[in-house]
Homo-oligomer: A and B are copies of this chain.
Amino acid sequence: MNSVRLGEIVAALGGELRGDPAQAIARIAPLETAGGDAITFVAQAKLRTLLEASQAGAIVVAPSLVAAAPNDRSLVVTDDPYLYFARLTQWWAQRLRPVPPAGVHPSAYVAPDAQVAASAVIGPMAVVESGAVIGERVQLGAHCVVGAGSRVGADSVMHPRVTIAAGCSVGERCVFQSGAVIGADGFGIAPTQGRWERIEQLGGVRIGNDVDIGANTCVDRGALEDTVLEDGVKLDNQIQIGHNCHIGAHTVMAACVGIAGSTKVGRNVMIGGAAMIQGHIEIVDGVTVSASTMVMHSLRKKGVYTAIFPVDEHASWEKNAVTLRNLYALRERVRALEKAQKKE
């Protein structure tokens, strides 16, 4: 982890430098813990007090907060410090994690009729099955599987142990984390005489560009048509996307979300962790669903939607929960009281 010069950062990412371009930066650190060898950032005015006390060697800051920064620190002034920070992490990661040399690891298996770009990196024990197409500069980590006839677009990075089933397509510049499963069979069964008949899932999964998928997240293949994630969708870990869902561009979901089959989620939707979305409904563009919220019906109006039982000390919860089981009866009692009062 050799250090860089502050001037190199500004040369690469822009911003107005107020300080010495030769200053050494050894790390990126949070505002509270950054020392003299670190660069940090402050994106919220409410952090002004932390900013004033910061020991960071250099601070990325918005024009409005420049005055609050300690006098003797280097500053990088930019309109959107959080975005600057994001790009700084990308630049930093490229320095620290050089792309492995192109080529197929000797322990990998690539089917004879698969197409792997010469610039791609195929890791140890990876499997690329018949007819699959791996684009330029793709990185398949150890133990990845790309099924028959599937495609992974240029510059996408599959961390170790990502499984893409047969007949799926992944766009460019996607990043999938370990354990993700793309294209498992959707859950289709038909009842018959007290048991279940399997409905084979004949569709695939179609994933756009710049889509990120978290660890152990599953996106099921469609029953007849494709499950679709549009460009820029960002999924955290342990998410379940049912068959035939259609997720609009730049929609983001925190960990542990589940979306049942055939639901259509719009663009720029934000879904909090562990929210659960019913199947066969629609959520329009720009909706926010709070964490742990169960959505039972379509949300056709932009807004924030919530359904969380408020946490409480157990004894207090218990008394309220018992009452809740008789809530309708309580309402009837209030109604009776109101009626009696009116009569008086």
- Across-interface contacts of A310 in B (CB, < 8 A): 296, 307, 321-322, 324-325
A178 near B165: Cβ-Cβ < 8 Å:
yes
A197 near B87: Cβ-Cβ < 8 Å:
yes
Q: A33-B225, A323-B331 are in contact. Are A179 and B181 (CB under 8 A)?
A: yes
Q: A307-B309, A317-B306 are in contact. Are A187 and B214 (CB under 8 A)?
A: yes
Contacting residue for A291 out of B29, B89, B260, CB 8 A? B260
A312 near B307: Cβ-Cβ < 8 Å:
yes
A318 near B306: Cβ-Cβ < 8 Å:
yes
A325 near B334: Cβ-Cβ < 8 Å:
no
From A82, which residue of chain B is reached at the shortest CB distance?
Answer: B190
CA distance A250 to B179 in the complex (A): 27
A195 near B232: Cβ-Cβ < 8 Å:
yes
B308 near A309: Cβ-Cβ < 8 Å:
yes
Q: Which A residues are closer than 8 A to B by beta carbons?
A: 27-30, 33, 80, 82-83, 85-87, 89-90, 92-93, 96-97, 105, 107, 109, 123-125, 127, 129, 141-143, 145, 147, 159-161, 163, 165-166, 175, 177-179, 181, 184-185, 187-192, 194-202, 210, 212, 214-216, 218, 220, 223-225, 232, 234, 236-238, 240, 242, 249-250, 252, 254-256, 258, 260, 268, 273-274, 276, 278, 290-297, 303-314, 316-328, 330-331, 333-334, 337-338, 340-341
What is the CB-to-nearest-CB distance from A55 to chain B, in angstroms, rounded to a whole number? 15
What is the CB-to-nearest-CB distance from A278 to chain B, in angstroms, rounded to a whole number? 7
- Across-interface contacts of A278 in B (CB, < 8 A): 291
A240 near B256: Cβ-Cβ < 8 Å:
yes
- Across-interface contacts of A129 in B (CB, < 8 A): 124, 142
What is the CB-to-nearest-CB distance from A129 to chain B, in angstroms, rounded to a whole number? 7
Contacting residue for A127 out of B97, B125, B327, CB 8 A? B125
CA distance A69 to B333 in the complex (A): 53
B334 near A250: Cβ-Cβ < 8 Å:
no
Could you jot down 11 A-B contacts, CB within 8 Å?
A86-B188, A175-B185, A215-B220, A255-B260, A260-B273, A260-B291, A308-B309, A316-B328, A322-B328, A323-B328, A333-B338
